[in-house]
Chains A and B, each alone.
Chain A
Amino acid sequence: MSSEIRFTDFKSDKQPTWCPGCGDFGTMNGMMKALANTGNDPDNTFVVAGIGCSGKIGTYMHSYALHGVHGRALPVGAGVKLANPDLEVMVAGGDGDGYSIGAGHFVHAVRRNVDMTYVVMDNRIYGLTKGQASPTSREDFETSTTPDGPQQPPVNPMALALASGATFIAQSFSTDAQRHAEIVQKAIEHDGFGFVNVFSPCVTFNDVDTYDYFRDSLVDLAEEGHDPTDYDAAKDAILDADKEFQGVVWQNEESVPYGEKHGVTENMSDVDEGAPEGAMDLVREFY
């Protein structure tokens, strides 16, 4: 079946209401391509979407999906994957969803290393609520709620991931369609938690982190000869505050995903018609 699957099969018949030119279009297209390229189809794919402009992706893609509570998409994704390891699970949300209200879950999802993919559509702004500072906004970025800028350093999500024991860290740019799809594909193929921070510019509320800005500043790690299995090189790239890059920055090839470590391999949706065999032994334990 997989050979017949085209990326457009992952598109729903609902027309996106994102602003024309929004980075989220490209991010979504790349995700759909990567899913199709890895042999998935909508009926074995589960997308969990956060809340935000980015979170609308659950509606615009065609797959099994849940559009949940702001900031809690990652635990939902882990629950889906552990309950049915046959599914391809992809979690997508915004920078506010993932690094602010959901930051705690991000750290622990990284540590847990469930075999799934996490795509953050990072526009360095709160889009849906119409333009407030996000945790990745620049220190001097003026918004309606931060007239002088947040005056706090932006969070470095990749450093947060690395410090939490990440096994796969990458970054891409939504408008570089080919590279973006390639990078997401690598994250899907990774055995463990594949994390991709995607620059997905907000054309309506962010006039500094624009397409032009990223086009001018972005370097491609692959072209620089970066070795993603070299931890120190990864650390240097991630901690270099002046460097905007795309590519896979870190991949631990020894990664063993949570499910494998804990022997969680069966589809849990099968339930016996009565109490499971051997249940009476549980009662006898209390003698």
Chain B
Amino acid sequence: MPADFNWAIGGEAGDGIDSTGKIFAQALSRAGRHVFTSKDFASRIRGGYTAYKVRTAVDPVQSVVDRLDVLIALTPRTIEENLDELHEGSVIIYDGERTTMEDVEIPEGMIGLEVPLKRLAEEAGGAIMRNVVALGAACEVAEFPIENLDSALEKRFGSKGQQLVDNNKEAARKGQDYVGDEYDHDFDYDLETTDEDYVLLNGDEAIGMGAIAAGCKFYAGYPITPATDVMEYLTGRIQNFGGHVVQAEDELSAINLALGAARAGARSMTATSGPGIDLMTETFGLVATSETPLVICDVMRSGPSTGMPTKQEQGDLDMLLYGGHGEIPRFVLAPTTISECFWKTVEAFNLAEKYQTPVYLTADLSLAVTEQTFSPEEFDMDEVEIDRGKVVDDDTISEWQNEKGQFQPHALTDDGVSPRAFPGTGEGAHMSTGLEHDELGRRTEDTEMRIEQVDKRNRKVETARNEEDWSPREFGDPDSDNLVISWGSNEGAMVEAIDLLEEDGVDVRFLSIPYMFPRFDLNEAFENADEVVVVECNATGQFADVVEHDTLTRVKRVNKYNGVRFKADELAEDIKQTLEA
């Protein structure tokens, strides 16, 4: 029996798949088991199909695998879609009384459990609870104590009254009892529980929580998958911390609202996906030349244009590194795990304010919509440090005034960073502009001042390059001749792939890169490697190009761009073949 258990529920959009899946994931988490969920997989047939997968184990899990042990199939197609992942002995729970499921064929070697989901739900109080009946059935199959499911149902429905909670618990028990009574079968699963306390959250939520932790008080955004969750998370929470969320009329407005708030001294952010970054690029250069601290989050989805809006891709890197006319200094951070989404958000605010430079924070869809369990200590708020940079007040402002008593918001300094006076500071009135300007912030076309201001803005990035820590995260065998590099959400699959490769006798050193710009110097790592493989979810190898540029060395590439994230077992195979090629 494998240590991990893989479960899924699938059906059509509107079948309540996501919320049912989330309840099961929550139940496992509350039982002290680690959980990793996924929704970002492509349909092999056509649109309309949706599923929610849960991988769980007592030890941490951080990737999906190509295996499914128990499947709740609400439609015949759910079975077809998952044929590759189902295996001998896999259990398929379905409602044989549902007209579409009557003639369903259970593939050879698999165990079909016919459970009258709708009928049992009606007996418990309403057909709407049929998915919960299925969850109860799954508990029985997996020998998972149903009290944990009760706990998750309480969390989900508690605010809607005890009656609803009780009905749902009853529905779950009907499913459990039905399987227990009708099927005399040992399914060979035994989902142990532990006393550990875990929290279960996705990357968007981690970014939102990181923003509040960092003192962000202003958020403006325009809804777009898969970034909307950031906005929805902040709405309803940020005001408890003195902040506010504005739903803008479009992304042009969103970034300008956020910019205005930042000019007024707030820690401010906006989040969007690729199509929104296209619009925000208009204002990005202004943010940089007016030296305004701003965090702009890009939750990447598959492009170009409207692409595949709910599918995985890491296709925006070039745009984030180079987008916008003229030469625009910036920072680009790309967290590699869900907990890192939290910490990199905090860091993004500090970098933005310390260097008065815009920060792109990019998570890919897989990080954003995937839920994962963590120990709550991984989000220890006492560890959060705030650095607001060179802010002057009524008492210190005189140090930065010229002989006429005028404040100089773009003063030329050794480190490139100028003083910042929040509006309202006495004697601090000044302007800033997207036009090239002098130290006072006034338009100039003076050739020398132009050079000095360009150099000053770029110098901030150089200062940051020297003063901040841009190290990658390192895994695997540090002495291996095989170097694997990736960015973003691929880390989880790659970390698990390392173990699988080891079983196959292949050792690798793995560097997971969270900083896209400025970047860690990879030259030394390259000198110690015979083979270098760069792994990413795009077709052209945008990061591989950058790495080749930095090291003047050709690399091998593993690219995936069908809209689905890497799976650990698949990635291990890809790496092996690429190294052998």
B8-52 near A? 1/0 per residue, CB < 8 Å: 000000000000000000000110000000000000000000000
A178 to B29, CA, bound (A): 70
Closest to A262 in B: B244
B290 touches A (CB below 8 Å): yes
Q: Are B442 and A59 in contact (CB under 8 A)?
A: yes
Q: Within the complex, what minimum Cβ distance (angstroms) separates A202 from chain B? A: 20
For B284, give the chain A residue with the smallest CB separation. Answer: A69
Query: Which of A63, A77, A105, A272 makes the CB contact (< 8 A) with B386?
Result: A272
Q: Does A104 contact B (CB under 8 A)?
A: yes
B interface, by DSSP: helix, strand, loop or mixed? mixed
A241 within 8 A of B: no
Chain B residues within an 8 Å CB radius of A76:
256-257, 259-260, 263
Known contacts A64-B423, A76-B263, A286-B200; is A276 also within 8 Å of B213 by CB?
A: yes
Among A48, A82, A269, contact of B265 (Cβ-Cβ < 8 Å) = A269
Q: Find out whether the CB atom of B386 lies under 8 angstroms from the CB atom of A75.
A: no
In the complex, A225 has a CB within 8 A of chain B: no
Write the nearest CB–CB distance from A7 to chain B, whole angstroms: 15
With contacts A69-B286, A72-B253, A279-B384 taken as known, whether A79 is within 8 angstroms of B260 at the C-beta atoms is yes
Q: With contacts A43-B429, A46-B423, A274-B386 known, is A82 near B215, CB below 8 A?
A: no
Answer whether residue B240 sits at the interface, using C-beta atoms and an 8 A cutoff: yes
With a cutoff of 8 Å between Cβ atoms, the chain B residues found around residue A47 in the complex are 431
Interface size on A, residues (CB 8 A): 62
Tell me the bound Cα distance from A266 to B261 in angstroms. Answer: 12
A148 at the interface (CB under 8 A from B): no
Interface contacts (Cβ under 8 Å), in number, total 223
Chain B: number of interface residues, binned into ranges: 35 or more
Contact assessment for A271 and B388 in the assembled complex, using a CB-CB cutoff below 8 Å: yes
Residues of B within 8 A of A69 (CB): 256, 282-283, 286, 434
> Is B477 part of the binding interface, using a Cβ–Cβ cutoff of 8 Å?
no
Q: What is the CA–CA distance of A283 and B213 in the complex, to the nearest angstrom?
A: 10
Interface residues of A in 203-254 (CB under 8 A from B): none
Contact B252 A65 (CB under 8 A): no
State the CA gap A45–B433 with chains docked (Å): 16
A sample of 8 cross-chain residue pairs with beta-carbon separation below 8 angstroms, ordered by A number, consists of A44-B423, A64-B424, A64-B431, A69-B434, A79-B263, A81-B264, A268-B244, A276-B242
> Which residues of B pack against A, CB within 8 Å?
29-30, 197-201, 205, 209, 212-215, 217-218, 220, 237, 239-244, 246, 248-250, 252-254, 256-268, 282-283, 286, 290, 376, 379, 381-382, 384-386, 388, 404, 422-435, 442-443
Q: A59-B433, A82-B261, A271-B217 are in contact. List 18 more A-B contacts (CB 8 A).
A: A64-B263, A67-B432, A74-B253, A75-B253, A79-B218, A79-B259, A82-B257, A83-B261, A84-B266, A108-B253, A268-B244, A269-B264, A269-B422, A269-B424, A270-B242, A279-B212, A280-B381, A287-B376
